[in-house]
Structure 1
Amino acid sequence: MATDATAVDQIARFAADLTILHDPSSDPSPLLLAVSGGPDSMAMLTLAAAAFRGRIQVATVDHGLRPEAAEEARMVAAHCAGLGVPHHVLRPAKPIAGASIQAQAREARYALLADHARAIGAAAILTAHHADDQAETFLMRASRGAGLSGLSGVRGRTVIAGATVLRPLLDWRRAELRRIVRRAEASFVDDPANTDPRHDRTRFRQLLDANEWLGVAQMARAAAQLAEADADLRATVDWLWAERAQIDGDNVRIAASDLPRELGRRLARRAIGTVRAAAGIESPAWTEGGNIEKLLEALEHGSRATQAGVIASVRSGVWRFRPAPPRRTG
């Protein structure tokens, strides 16, 4: 990377942004960069190679979904060789096929990266999500009626597939990252999926590009503030669960009727998940973000309700969750 004043400032900024999430000076373990060959991840590689020389390794995931992916992986490998950075190509053991290809690819990608991070003893995985990604995610989820957790968007630090994942570029714009790779004369490729109108994200990206007044940076900042609020709520729920929940095998009781609705909602979701795990309930499907508004309304009115194979009832202000009895047939 060129070492003019702008580049020096950007390298220092990147180092500071990463240190907020993880202080490399306190941990000598390497950092694993997920680099696809797109301009965003190549910019991250350019910045990290300059800021943390000798401390990074790179992995490129070839999902086997596009014939061009192998050549893109070779391009990243060649660039890493020029920087003196170790590079590995990761491929799924089985082909990705069937419904929800994008979701399957994401799951496979993080599983491969997490396994490789453990193999090399990496402290964390770095991905190149940036402010524009954050704004797109915010709008996509708002359009679907997401709650606080969904509107929190992409987290700066999280755990996926058992590995710590860091996103040090969440305050950076897509355009400035592209300028970094062009100035560094680093090769990159534009993923055709980014302009494919079949994907929801593409439509929201086009909406933002055509309407600057929407304010990408402001939406990214709002998502970050919501993430802080969500983290505080999660800590509160952990404390309430320890104080108020009683677990007896596959039965859970919670003194929750006097709590605000959001806290009750989160405790009820945790109770449903706990009962299902203890009772081995696998069907119907259940996610932590499941809509339980009708169940909450029933509890507030002293009634019972069933959701995801779990029956909830209330007595003397205590909510009880237990496996629902099997349905009668015939």
Structure 2
Amino acid sequence: MTAAAARLATDWQAPRAAVPVDGPVGLAVSGGPDSLAMLLLFHEVAPRNFAVATVDHGLRAESADEAAMVAKVCAERRIAHRTLAIAMTKGSAVQERARASRYHALAEWAAAEGLAAIVTAHHADDQAETMVMRLNRGAGLRGLSAMRQIAQVPGAPHLPLLRPLLRWSRRDLLAVVEASGLVPALDPSNTDPRYERVRVRDAMTSNPAFIASGFAASADHLAEADAALDWAVQTLWPQVPAGAAQIVLSPPVDIPPALALRLLERVLAHFGALPPRGPALVRWHESLRAGHVATLGGVKGDARGKAWRFTPAPKRNDVSGSDIGTGR
């Protein structure tokens, strides 16, 4: 086993142990240097415990050849491979639409093949870029935690999404591919300055003041702090049966706002409300803290007594979305 494969074997232990179902996992491999390196490393570490899928979005003429290249690499190593073709159209928000379509196709593939999780090749440089983009938007703790090693596939909440390479650099993965003698696919969108991520990447790689590994380490620390908030919420959460029509909370008078907001998110989730935008949740909290009655997402909070009581709001003919309604 190579040194790089031994390193992956160590990094793979924690995410794999988090998957509650035994069985093979599915690797998302585009043919680019990052995902191709992941394929090669997994072939050394777990040669019979994974399958590979390549999503062809149909947006570039070269994409079919790139998928065929990955299929050939897999065939030579007796690895199961599928090309998942998506009929996408060019237009606005193409990267966001492509991402959603890609995860949907991967989730369907995983269900059809009985795969326990989807694995992607996101790495430390990706993590740093994501964190900088979210800093630019003024993200809070949860957003700055960026990508997690263990998450869920978007749109498929019961399918784990694993990222074992978040401590690897782009250069580390390129070295794995170069040592194999393979030539990876190069997607021109990865150098197109019209995309925010490309602009951030160019700024970070052209200025030695930015250290990607430092950003990635900070994201890990912030993720730990985010998990600590969730743990604290769990300790404050009352014993509420599923489907209960009322929740009564008695938060401490000096509860930090960040913790109070997490509690209110939990309230909304209990009643099946959609996650609100941050400013709306802050306004709801301010109204309750002031001892008012306030409604958000179809949930009425009454803070006129010592405790905060939450019930489904009466149905109204004029649905006004997530606007805050208050009263004394």
Task: Please state which band the TM-score falls in when normalised by the shorter chain.
Answer: 0.7 to 0.9
- Letter in structure 2 aligned against 1:320: R
Matched, 1:266 2:262: yes
Distance 1:119 1:227, change over 3 A: same
- Letter in structure 1 aligned against 2:256: P
Q: Deviations over 1:7-29 (max 9, x none)?
A: x11110011100122159x9862
Q: Deviations over 1:111-156 (max 9, x none)?
A: 2212222322223211000000000111111111111111111100
Give the superposition deviation at 1:95: 4.0
Distance 1:195 1:295, change over 3 A: same
Q: Deviations over 1:171-230 (max 9, x none)?
A: 110012112111211221122221222221111111210122221111101101111221
Partners of 1:138 and 1:151 within 8 A in 2: yes
- Once residues 23 and 241 of structure 2 are traced to their aligned partners in structure 1, the CA distance between those partners, rounded to angstroms, is 39
- Once residues 208 and 299 of structure 1 are traced to their aligned partners in structure 2, the CA distance between those partners, rounded to angstroms, is 43
Give the superposition deviation at 1:302: 1.6
Corresponding residue number in structure 1 for 2:275: 287
Matched, 1:208 2:204: yes
Q: In structure 2, the residue corresponding to 1:201 is in which secondary structure?
A: helix
Matches within 5 A, 1:22-41: 22-23=16-17, 29-41=23-35
- Once residues 112 and 197 of structure 1 are traced to their aligned partners in structure 2, the CA distance between those partners, rounded to angstroms, is 27
Corresponding residue number in structure 1 for 2:128: 135
Of 2, 11, 20, the match for 1:17: 11
Give the superposition deviation at 1:287: 2.9
- Once residues 306 and 139 of structure 2 are traced to their aligned partners in structure 1, the CA distance between those partners, rounded to angstroms, is 29
Corresponding residue number in structure 1 for 2:96: 103
Corresponding residue number in structure 1 for 2:249: 254
- Letter in structure 1 aligned against 2:83: V
Of 48, 53, 71, the match for 1:54: 48
Partners of 1:12 and 1:51 within 8 A in 2: yes
Of 170, 179, 182, the match for 1:174: 170
Matches within 5 A, 1:68-83: 68-83=62-77
Of 77, 85, 93, the match for 2:79: 85
Distance 1:153 1:327, change over 3 A: same
Q: TM-score, normalised by structure 1?
A: 0.85
Q: TM-score, normalised by structure 2?
A: 0.85
- Letter in structure 2 aligned against 1:30: P
- Once residues 116 and 10 of structure 1 are traced to their aligned partners in structure 2, the CA distance between those partners, rounded to angstroms, is 29
- Once residues 232 and 238 of structure 1 are traced to their aligned partners in structure 2, the CA distance between those partners, rounded to angstroms, is 10
Partners of 1:129 and 1:167 within 8 A in 2: yes
> Identity of aligned pairs, percent?
40
- Letter in structure 1 aligned against 2:267: A
- Letter in structure 2 aligned against 1:60: T
Of 229, 235, 238, the match for 2:225: 229
Corresponding residue number in structure 2 for 1:115: 108
Corresponding residue number in structure 2 for 1:296: 285
Q: Deviations over 1:64-85 (max 9, x none)?
A: 2323221111111111112221
For structure 1, list consecutive stretches of 5 or more residues without a partner in the other structure. 278-285
Give the superposition deviation at 1:56: 2.1
Partners of 1:158 and 1:165 within 8 A in 2: yes
Partners of 1:37 and 1:73 within 8 A in 2: yes
- Once residues 246 and 49 of structure 1 are traced to their aligned partners in structure 2, the CA distance between those partners, rounded to angstroms, is 44
Partners of 2:249 and 2:309 within 8 A in 1: yes
Corresponding residue number in structure 1 for 2:326: none
Q: Deviations over 1:230-279 (max 9, x none)?
A: 12322332343344799643x543223533222210111222343354xx
- Once residues 206 and 90 of structure 2 are traced to their aligned partners in structure 1, the CA distance between those partners, rounded to angstroms, is 34
RMSD between aligned residues: 2.7
Give the superposition deviation at 1:293: 1.6
Of 191, 215, 223, the match for 1:219: 215
- Once residues 100 and 238 of structure 2 are traced to their aligned partners in structure 1, the CA distance between those partners, rounded to angstroms, is 31
Distance 1:173 1:82, change over 3 A: same
Partners of 1:245 and 1:252 within 8 A in 2: no
Matched, 1:319 2:312: no
Distance 1:70 1:273, change over 3 A: same
- Once residues 173 and 289 of structure 1 are traced to their aligned partners in structure 2, the CA distance between those partners, rounded to angstroms, is 33
Distance 1:328 1:12, change over 3 A: closer
Distance 1:105 1:269, change over 3 A: same
Give the superposition deviation at 1:97: 6.7
Give the superposition deviation at 1:63: 2.0
- Once residues 90 and 22 of structure 1 are traced to their aligned partners in structure 2, the CA distance between those partners, rounded to angstroms, is 24
